[in-house]
Structure 1
Amino acid sequence: MPSSAAPRLLLACLAALACAPASARAADLSVRIEGLRNAQGVVSVCVTAKADAFPGCDGDPAARRQTVRASEAGRPVVFRNLAPGTYAVAALHDENADGRLGTNFLGIPTEGIGVSNDALPTFSAPRFRDAAVRLEGSGSLSVRVRYR
């Protein structure tokens, strides 16, 4: 290839990338955690595209997880390079930082949980379809943590 063709090829590739539809590009999702009752422990946030893996993201090897100190939860948690698609987000305020959701003897959570779309039912686990958000390009959302 002549040396003058290389810059033209590079420009053509960059132009093609710039003109690609947004749905073909990876996106970032910024998640702001709200409503923590204290700054103790950690907040674990997960994002999944698999309905049967929600809300814990268990069984989804492609799920993305991040854990931040509760004292730093005012800053957004950013999940980078997500493929366009439908996702649901779950957050757990693990106040004692033991890596699991604390529950009472009836199985009712004693630590805070939150999901996208604020889709927390009263007597069951949240459903993916209620918490689902469509990600076409980079975006942001808030998850409000609730305590029972």
Structure 2
Amino acid sequence: MIRKLMGAAVAMVTLATPAVADGLNVTVDGIRNAKGNIVILVFDDARAFDNLDLWSAIDYAQIPSRKGSVRHEFSNLNAGPYAVLLFHDENKDEDLNMTATHLLEGIGATGAPNPQDEPDFHAASVWPGDVRVRIHYDQ
């Protein structure tokens, strides 16, 4: 009887403990072509994300673009919460190109399913695991 109770208690604790994620795995959807790179910036600081302080990102990746979707694993990011900001650097100048009124390259963020969304860190926060971000283009 005691063994059964102990086994049940261990099972309950195991079920109540969240699984440890294997990093932050970002899938970028909606990429229009294979030109350039997808630049992904990950933030763990609300002020840095909200102020677009790119130099304060906790991690960063540039991956070759591919029409449709690409995926990148940040295996060392296991704590959270995080907010992701990304853009399609089609001309590889490491800058988001735009005119006074239009983006010339695509942009996306966690918490921004629509092109007009501009989430703050709280709205964009995600936890380690699989995350999908839609990239949006003006043209």
> Superposition pairs for residues 2-17 of structure 1, below 5 Å?
none
Matches of 2:24 and 2:68 in 1, distance apart? 15
Matches of 1:34 and 1:81 in 2, distance apart? 22
Q: Cα 1:57–1:48, aligned 2, differ >3 Å: closer, same or farther? A: farther
Matches of 2:114 and 2:45 in 1, distance apart? 18
Q: TM-score, structure 1 length as denominator?
A: 0.69
Q: Cα 1:85–1:99, aligned 2, differ >3 Å: closer, same or farther? A: same
1:140 to 117, 130, 136: 130
Q: Tell me the residue number matched to 1:128.
A: 121
Q: Cα 1:133–1:69, aligned 2, differ >3 Å: closer, same or farther? A: same
Q: Tell me the residue number matched to 1:88.
A: 83
How many residues end up aligned between the 2 structures? Answer: 122
For residue 73 of structure 1, report the CA deviation from its aligned partner.
7.2
Q: Tell me the residue number matched to 2:34.
A: 39
Letter in structure 2 aligned against 1:109: L
Q: Where has structure 1 moved over 4 Å in runs of 4 or more?
A: none
State the identity as a percent.
32
Q: Cα 1:29–1:112, aligned 2, differ >3 Å: closer, same or farther? A: same
Aligned partner of residue 129 in structure 1, secondary structure:
helix
5+ long unaligned stretches in structure 2? 1-13
Q: Tell me the residue number matched to 1:114.
A: 108
Q: Cα RMSD (Å) of the superposition?
A: 2.7
Q: Tell me the residue number matched to 1:65.
A: 60
Asked if structure 2 preserves the Cα contact closer than 8 Å seen for 1:43 and 1:93, the reply is yes
Matches of 1:125 and 1:118 in 2, distance apart? 6
For residue 118 of structure 1, report the CA deviation from its aligned partner.
2.4
For residue 83 of structure 1, report the CA deviation from its aligned partner.
3.7
Q: TM-score, structure 2 length as denominator?
A: 0.73
